[in-house]
Structure 1
Amino acid sequence: MKYLVHLLLFVLLSNGSVTASNPQESADVIIYGGTSAAVTAAVQVIRMNKSVIIVSPDKHLGGLSSGGLGFTDTGDKSVIGGLAREFYHRIYLHYQEPASWNWQKQSEYGNKGQGTPAMDGNERTMWIFEPHVAEQVFEDFVKENRIRIYREEWLDRDKGVIKKNNRITGIKTLSGKTFTGKMFIDATYEGDLMAAAGVKYRVGREANSEFGEKYNGVQIDVLHHGHYFEKPVNAYKKEGDPASGLLPLISPDPPGKQGEGDKRVQAYCFRLCLTDHPENRVAIEKPAGYDSSQYELLVRVFKTGWTGVFNKFDPIPNHKTDVNNHGPFSMDYIGMNYDYPDASYEKRKEIIAAHETYQKGLLYFITNSMRVPADIRERMSKWGLSRDEFKDNGNWPHQLYIREARRMNGLRIMTENEVLGNKVVTQPVGMGSYTLDSHNTQRYVQSDGTVQNEGDVQAHISKPYQIEYGAIIPKKGECENLLVPVCVSSTHIAYGSIRMEPVFMILGQSAATAAVQAIDGKKAVQDVDYEMLKKQLLKDKQKI
């Protein structure tokens, strides 16, 4: 009988997910979230000989890394180390197998990445990939390390965090399960565990004056990257007639003054995996709730001569593409996510559904409306959803791109000054290098009656920067055993650079390392010996 019990336990752990009758489970480290950071954190805990449980509200692992963002935002790849680099190495190994190229020959793939080749033979890494390939790499990490995962377990945000003496002792999920541990890591895009634990956080944009920044706050005088109305487009239903009312998706509110703070959140979208391969293509269908009037503004943009619909159909292997927002009216559902960070689960589901309807409707409109220029309509008709991606979700991505939600108000706050190298970081646990990147936050009416977008910033960074350890931990008076590697402590505009998937993987590993050292030293995370932490990070090939 004892042998059978051990065999059953081995089978459960090997499958990478657990269904338990026991309502309480324990481990040294409890990780809440199913993102790329959650997986790298869990692997690091195991490799440091501690026990771990991932409590994931998601069914699928990897967040955006497996949810459509296959054209990786990397910046300077030389600062990506540790488990993050191992992830991209495993992607490389996958695409070295001839069987991986089922819709396209490897020799036909253009090898285009963001400024560098997608496939780096010298470094044996690959930065561009299909969603299902990324998900399989994460699942392989879980299986190889026998990581316990409870999927589709949602934190009880009202009364699900149990604290004693300023430490979390356990968390409860809506299903009634309790997970107890010594250390906790919030690896969600939303920061739900952090917030429920009473840790203070920020939502929206800080005024430039608060931290001496330039690119934070309202940016009505900054027009970057082509994501704005370059030619005049009237905002009213009847052109030139304010009494006729605004076209859909234009805010009636004033945009605010240059540089002042607000509670607006940069736009979300789904990163779509489309294909033009006939055998793998699923036709774009009219979504339930489709309303063609929602795209009237796009018709007016076309009339100005704009033709950039396909400028962010970035190629990934096997005749597929990672589709991102581009231009004045595109995949971003601008202004429709302000409530998301603090919203209930039910309200978030409504917001996510609205984004799905908007983007499906946009694809259908461009493909079918006779008001779309014929050449664009014809080209769009050759694209469809990829039949072999997101099979259990109608070939639609399972993860909305939550570019920004809550940001912890932690022990240290990363600002654009640290990112741009104007302020020294003293205890680095990882590095970033991507552009200061914020998508638009609002679409408003200018004084002349024309429409404009606001909030898009693309500010160049001259060299990689370090990320403070204090940015992934709360203030000691709020919680002593929580680390937050995704909703890090930063200003809106600094987060615009930090918020890249490779960085989340890096910070997930670093958070786990600190958690284990805090356990071994019987310390609060704020009291971890940084020199010991640094030594372990370097040993594990992190770049700091």
Structure 2
Amino acid sequence: MVRILTAWLLIVAALPITYSNEIAPSTSFDVVVYGGTSAGVVAAVQAARLGRSVVIVAPERKLGGLSASGLGWTDTGDKSVIGGLSREFYHRVWKHYQKPTAWKWQRREEFGNRGQGTEAIDTQGRTQWIFEPHVAEEVFEEMLAEADVRVEREEWLDRAAGVELAGKKIASIRTLSGKTFAGKIFIDATYEGDLMAAAGVDYHVGREAREVYGEEWNGVQVGVLHHKHYFEKPVDPYVVAGDPSSGLLPRISATPPGSRHEGDQRVQAYCFRMCLSNHPDNRLPFPRPESYDPAQYELLLRIFATGWRDVFWKFDRVPNRKTDTNNHGPFSTDNIGFNYDYPEASYERRREIIQEHIDYQQGLMYFMANDPRVPEEIRTKLASWGLAADEFQETNGWPHQIYVREARRMIGEYVATEADCLSQRTTDVPIGMGSYVMDSHNVQRYVTPEGTVQNEGDIGVHPPQPYKIAYGSLTPRKGQASNLLVPVCLSSSHIAYGSIRMEPVFMILAHSAATAADLALDSGCAVQEIDYHELRDRLLSEGQILDLPHEP
């Protein structure tokens, strides 16, 4: 059953297949958006509203990225700096939940108003920040339909030979099905940065060493323990406790972690943001993967043996008795260390990595709900939960998008660093603002010199105030791809990206990218050369927030 469940779910391309070419090779658009994430939707809608011909070339079948795939407990930071179409999206969510018919599994007054430190529902601002996945998908599809945006779904870029360059410009892209999309401006809105990379733009994968940008919180962070995603009490890592010759338990690396502030190619952990339900009429039992191996979770049993019981901390409630369930604790839904090659992997290899993550996470939930060695209070409580039956119905309740927290990051005209996030420097060409914690999930799980197991890479450092994101973080360096904008895999260091990489910010930047594209088309110039003052005026008139309230 599980293989059927995930058959179309994979966000990696199948082997090339011959299709009929529905779009003539000569068809051209003002703006070609590659990627059906929340940023891709917003960029396309904004370009269409500005009167431009636009198409979304989407590898995905379902649009909206993580916002429509389980991440309903929105990581907002300071909501006052979320503007433009990003805020419009959350306003439309609010409008949906004003309907009595929106509350099927619980009464509105039962939901309460708990959010990320502020209200989940802002009645005064007419926005709602916490929502069910299908609601987000409906809102995105509604916005696209109203703007009459053309969407080509399940179209995968031919990364090896599908980007045609004309000098410094991208002339067209070709997908594995053989379709060609010509354009004047291209926007890479993917989580992976595949178009950016295929166009020859500079980028980075992994963590930079401290000396690259002078950052305290970048590079390997051995000994730094933020949040609660580490081992608080000593846990033996060996198959036979105390016997290194017996080998390590699964999910622990034998590779030394590296030295503090050293750069590496490792990537912070991925997971799926599950939407769970505890309503007996809307609950699917956790599936048992075909490859299920309870030995993969032996380390979790040892953590339970220390007295740890905080399994349910990140069962964050969204409307209708559902959750956005995220990673929490030393051993949870984050599949630490199993995604390092994902950013640059082939489609086939990405498919394997994603399936490994599905098997791991489904197996974890099944293990905790069924294995008799799991403490009874956890098993009993978890048995009252299951996948929400009315979400992701084509895949039996499993999210369609893996949480690619970080992949490639462009090295563009301006590299955002922790100095920007900490307000130690600022830009005079902002196109949006960020405010969330500099948040990196764990990168590796290793054996300490004392012979215990520990996680490394989890960082949480709060900016003192909202900060500006520079226009140059959306553009390649001069001399590279003069008609490409990158609002998701933008130009940022690893640790700064930990703050910027939030769905509301991706939508903010996508809105600004589309308006910048419109200006570049008007003036006939490279995206790196547009008149920023004109862009600023346009963005402010469109409801974007570019300054703190006390600034001019």
Q: Normalised by the size of structure 2, how large is the TM-score?
A: 0.95
The residue that corresponds to 1:289 in the other structure is 291
- TM-superposed deviation, 1:23: 4.7
Q: Provide the secondary structure at the position in 2 that maps to 1:28.
A: strand
Distance 2:26 2:154 in 1: 16
User: Superposition pairs for residues 294-373 of structure 1, below 5 Å?
Assistant: 294-373=296-375
Aligned match for 1:509, one of 504, 511, 516 = 511
The residue that corresponds to 1:499 in the other structure is 501
Aligned match for 1:278, one of 241, 261, 280 = 280
The residue that corresponds to 1:229 in the other structure is 231
* CA spacing shift, 1:379–1:537, aligned 2, 3 Å: same
Q: Which amino acid aligns with 1:438?
A: S
Q: Provide the secondary structure at the position in 2 that maps to 1:111.
A: coil
Root-mean-square deviation (CA), in Å?
A: 0.9
The residue that corresponds to 1:238 in the other structure is 240
Larger mean CA deviation between 41-50 and 78-87 belongs to 41-50
Q: Give the % identical residues.
A: 61
Q: Deviations over 1:8-58 (max 9, x none)?
A: xxxxxxxxxx98253553210000000000111111111111110100000
User: Superposition pairs for residues 112-127 of structure 1, below 5 Å?
Assistant: 112-127=114-129
The residue that corresponds to 2:443 in the other structure is 441
Kept after mapping to 1: 8 A contact 2:315/2:326: yes
Q: Which amino acid aligns with 2:258?
A: G
The residue that corresponds to 2:199 in the other structure is 197
The residue that corresponds to 1:469 in the other structure is 471
Q: Provide the secondary structure at the position in 2 that maps to 1:55.
A: strand
The residue that corresponds to 1:55 in the other structure is 57
1:188 and 2:199 correspond? no
Distance 1:20 1:533 in 2: 36
- TM-superposed deviation, 1:464: 0.2
Distance 2:295 2:404 in 1: 26
The residue that corresponds to 1:453 in the other structure is 455
Kept after mapping to 2: 8 A contact 1:81/1:542: yes
Distance 1:95 1:324 in 2: 23
Q: Provide the secondary structure at the position in 1 that maps to 2:514.
A: helix
- TM-superposed deviation, 1:387: 0.7
The residue that corresponds to 2:145 in the other structure is 143
Aligned match for 2:83, one of 78, 81, 84 = 81
Q: Which amino acid aligns with 1:65?
A: S
Distance 2:537 2:183 in 1: 25
Distance 1:331 1:130 in 2: 20
The residue that corresponds to 2:103 in the other structure is 101
Q: Deviations over 1:416-463 (max 9, x none)?
A: 001100012121000000000000000000112100000000011110
Q: Which amino acid aligns with 2:434?
A: G
Q: Provide the secondary structure at the position in 2 that maps to 1:496.
A: helix
Q: Which amino acid aligns with 1:436?
A: M
Distance 2:24 2:263 in 1: 48
- TM-superposed deviation, 1:365: 0.3
Q: Which amino acid aligns with 1:245?
A: G
Distance 2:64 2:408 in 1: 19
The residue that corresponds to 2:216 in the other structure is 214
Aligned residues: 527
Distance 1:402 1:534 in 2: 31
Distance 2:77 2:167 in 1: 42
Q: Provide the secondary structure at the position in 2 that maps to 1:278.
A: coil
The residue that corresponds to 2:38 in the other structure is 36
Q: Provide the secondary structure at the position in 1 that maps to 2:185.
A: strand
- TM-superposed deviation, 1:177: 0.4
Distance 2:112 2:224 in 1: 34
Kept after mapping to 2: 8 A contact 1:234/1:449: yes
Q: Deviations over 1:189-245 (max 9, x none)?
A: 000000000001000000112111111000012101010000000010000100000
Distance 1:31 1:286 in 2: 38
The residue that corresponds to 1:132 in the other structure is 134
Q: Which amino acid aligns with 1:329?
A: F
Distance 1:235 1:287 in 2: 25
Distance 1:373 1:84 in 2: 43
Q: Provide the secondary structure at the position in 2 that maps to 1:272.
A: coil
The residue that corresponds to 1:532 in the other structure is 534
Kept after mapping to 1: 8 A contact 2:23/2:179: no
Distance 2:180 2:356 in 1: 33
- TM-superposed deviation, 1:165: 1.5
Unaligned 5+ segments in structure 1 are: 1-17
Distance 1:460 1:145 in 2: 37
Q: Following superposition, which runs of at least 4 residues in structure 1 exceed 2 angstroms of deviation?
A: 18-25
Kept after mapping to 2: 8 A contact 1:23/1:176: no
- TM-superposed deviation, 1:110: 2.1
Kept after mapping to 2: 8 A contact 1:19/1:150: no
Q: Deviations over 1:494-527 (max 9, x none)?
A: 0000000000000000001111100110000010
Distance 1:277 1:394 in 2: 16
Kept after mapping to 1: 8 A contact 2:234/2:452: yes
Q: Deviations over 1:328-366 (max 9, x none)?
A: 000100000000000000110110111010000000000
Kept after mapping to 2: 8 A contact 1:31/1:186: yes
Q: Provide the secondary structure at the position in 1 that maps to 2:112.
A: coil
Distance 2:258 2:23 in 1: 54
The residue that corresponds to 2:434 in the other structure is 432
The residue that corresponds to 1:423 in the other structure is 425
Distance 1:373 1:161 in 2: 54
Q: Which amino acid aligns with 2:452?
A: T
Distance 1:44 1:469 in 2: 17
* CA spacing shift, 1:23–1:392, aligned 2, 3 Å: farther
Q: Deviations over 1:226-280 (max 9, x none)?
A: 1000000001000010000000000000000001100000000000000000001
Q: Which amino acid aligns with 1:126?
A: Q
Distance 2:426 2:137 in 1: 37
Larger mean CA deviation between 86-95 and 420-429 belongs to 420-429
Distance 1:25 1:333 in 2: 42
Kept after mapping to 1: 8 A contact 2:68/2:136: yes
Distance 2:425 2:494 in 1: 17
The residue that corresponds to 1:167 in the other structure is 169
The residue that corresponds to 2:406 in the other structure is 404
Q: Provide the secondary structure at the position in 1 that maps to 2:105.
A: coil
Kept after mapping to 1: 8 A contact 2:426/2:467: no
User: Superposition pairs for residues 259-270 of structure 1, below 5 Å?
Assistant: 259-270=261-272
The residue that corresponds to 1:5 in the other structure is none
The residue that corresponds to 2:4 in the other structure is none
Q: Which amino acid aligns with 2:404?
A: I
Distance 2:212 2:187 in 1: 29
Distance 1:533 1:90 in 2: 26
Q: Which amino acid aligns with 2:41?
A: V
Kept after mapping to 2: 8 A contact 1:24/1:177: no
* CA spacing shift, 1:489–1:21, aligned 2, 3 Å: closer
Q: Normalised by the size of structure 1, how large is the TM-score?
A: 0.96
Distance 2:384 2:21 in 1: 43
Q: Provide the secondary structure at the position in 2 that maps to 1:86.
A: helix
